[in-house]
Amino acid sequence: MFGPANGLSLALSAVSVLIAGVTVLLAYFDVRRLRATGFERPFPWPWAFFSLISGVGVLVYVIGRTVLVRRRSGHGVAPLVVAIAIVVIGISSTPAASSTRAIWTPEPRLRGTQNGPASPRGAGPFC
């Protein structure tokens, strides 16, 4: 129940929440910076909380920000390109992270073998 596989899952969840929290914090600082450079009403930073729901949720803020900045200034697509690249890398690395579970999951014990007690019914592990 509390083996290494559960510890690994807990660590991955903690890292995910930490990354989402950093995303919200960076969105807040981004809005402050946009206001300081002359954007009167930038895209609201609380939209970044969607990153807590899903890894793809971070795109909600970045897409909204890109649309507003591009309409008002004519440039500003780089954050969207970087965010999409990060999400694609994260999605493509997910199978690698889930395959590590196979390393930590113990093999089941079979009855009637050296790993467990002999079967009370007799002839072999599957009887």
pLDDT digits (tens, 9 = 90+) for 10-29: 887 888 888 889 989 999 99
Instruction: List b or e across 83-121, with b for residues whose CB sees 16 or more CB atoms inside 10 angstroms.
Output: beeebeeeeeeeeeeeeeeeeeeeeeeeebeeeeeeeee
> How many whole angstroms separate alpha carbon 127 and alpha carbon 108?
17
- pLDDT at position 64 is 93
pLDDT digits (tens, 9 = 90+) for 108-117: 665 555 555 5
pLDDT class of 2 with cuts at 50, 70, 90: low
DSSP-derived 3-state class of residue 3: coil
Q: Indicate the domain borders of the chain.
A: 4-98
Element containing residue 10 per DSSP (H, E): helix 4-36
**Mean of per-residue pLDDT scores for the chain:** 78
- pLDDT at position 51 is 84
- pLDDT at position 16 is 82
pLDDT digits (tens, 9 = 90+) for 58-89: 899 999 999 999 998 888 899 899 989 988 88
> How many whole angstroms separate alpha carbon 106 and alpha carbon 23?
36
Q: Which residue has the higher pLDDT, 121 or 15?
A: 15
Mean pLDDT of 19-47: 92
